Amino acid sequence: MGCYVLGEIAYLDNSATTKPCKAAIQNINLALENVWGNPSSLYDLGFKAQLLVDDTRKAVANMLHCREDEIYFTGSGTESNNMALLGAAASRKKRGKRIVTTAIEHPSVLETAKRLESDGFEVIFLKPQANGCISAEALKNAINKDTVLVSIMLVNNETGAVQPVKEAAQFIKQSGAPALLHCDGVQAFGKMPINLSELGVDLFTASGHKIHGPKGVGILYLKKSVTIKSLITGGGQEKNMRSGTEAVPTIYGLKGAIDELGNISENLKAQKELWLYAKNALLNTGLISVNSSDDALPYILNISVEGYRSETLLHFLEAQGVYVSSGSACAKGNGSYVLNEMGLSRSRVDSALRISFSRYSTKEDIKQLETALITATQKLRRSN
């Protein structure tokens, strides 16, 4: 039943985190046991540790089609997003006051944007259309000559909706704004082909634990021609962008995860087939409505089981060895602001489940989910 099935367990919450793959674990252990020196040390053990960091940086740059010296390592996707937004805003604050983002960003972007708003910036939070996507026209109209930063995610973490990032780059250029373009690519990295030069972004962020790497390693891409303010000062690591001794084991663990990815385009085709299989199987139960659009990235399928609260269903499914979520893991059980912003009914929002796949997910996992969902709703009906 795939990588995640231990006994009767089907893990379908891969947008929250993924199980570290064997290559990631092997790389982590190698760094911990054999290459544990400080990369800044001027002797052999430090040099060997630096080589592991350099190898990972090269692997990330190859994936994103950018220069190695444009990649910086952080402690998480959240830290990368904070660095990108706060650093970009600080570097451009004398050139304008408008920041454009969306109302469906990850909390690490939304809360940072709100902080910048309290600091005196005018922040525009664009609302999505019913399909979960931001309107290109609304995006274009929001960008003016006073705009210093645009931040828009590539793939929404709750619905899988793919956002118009490339169009944002075009609109910034057309407007003549001094804006930098940031893209939260956490849910897209390793799951769809990404060429940063074609995407047109100045800053791009990602995380290791969404692609079977370890927690504790984030990625920040900063275009070579762009300068932002650094937030963490100290010993000058990561070219003065993020001081602090590099976490070599987690960084090299990311390298292992990248090595095991295989062909991203082929993975995506296979995942689309599984997504359609899951969607049709669950629709055939007569229990659900689908909240993700047909052109969503097929690693996320958001559904609603109206008449049953998400949290209640989660526990019934867990009891049957099936793990899904009610939305972003960072929401900690709160109702989905993403689905609210899409204009879904209260009953749809309160009964929403996010099913998220990895390349190791199987049809058997889907069948187990289908059976568990039918059983859960039957038990709940009898108890009412």
Q: What confidence tens digit (pLDDT) does each residue in 138-158 have?
A: 999 999 999 999 999 999 999
pLDDT at site 52: 97
pLDDT at site 381: 84
Around 166, how many Cα atoms within 13 Å sit in the side-chain half-sphere? Answer: 7
pLDDT at site 38: 87
Q: Give yes or no for residue 3 having a pLDDT over 50.
A: no
Tens-place pLDDT, residues 284-320: 999 999 999 999 999 999 999 999 999 999 999 999 9
Mean pLDDT for the chain? 93
How is residue 161 written in tokens? 């909706």
pLDDT at site 384: 63
CATH fold for domain 22-259 = Aspartate Aminotransferase; domain 2 (3.40.640)
Tens-place pLDDT, residues 104-140: 999 999 999 999 999 999 999 999 999 999 999 999 9
Nearest 10 degrees: Cα torsion 357, 360, 363, 366: -40
Tell me the pLDDT band of 382, cut-offs 50, 70 and 90.
Answer: confident
Per domain, the residue ranges of the chain are: 10-20+263-383, 22-259
Does domain 10-20+263-383 correspond to CATH entry 3.90.1150.10? yes
Q: Is the alpha carbon torsion for 138, 140, 146, 151 positive or negative?
A: positive
| Residues above pLDDT 70, as percent of the chain | 96
Q: How far is 41 from 206, CA to CA, in rounded Å? A: 28
Q: Is 21 a catalytic residue?
A: no
Q: Of these residues, 21, 133, 183, 330, which one is catalytic? A: 330
Phi-psi region of 262 (alpha: psi -120 to 50; beta: other; left: phi over 0): left
Q: Are 126 and 136 in contact (CB under 8 A)?
A: no
**347 burial via Cβ count (<10 Å: 0-12, 13-18, 19+):** middle
Tell me the pLDDT band of 42, cut-offs 50, 70 and 90.
Answer: confident
Residue located via tokens 């793919």 = 162
Which residues, listed in sequence order, are joined to residue 121 by a DSSP beta bridge?
none
Tell me the pLDDT band of 5, cut-offs 50, 70 and 90.
Answer: very low
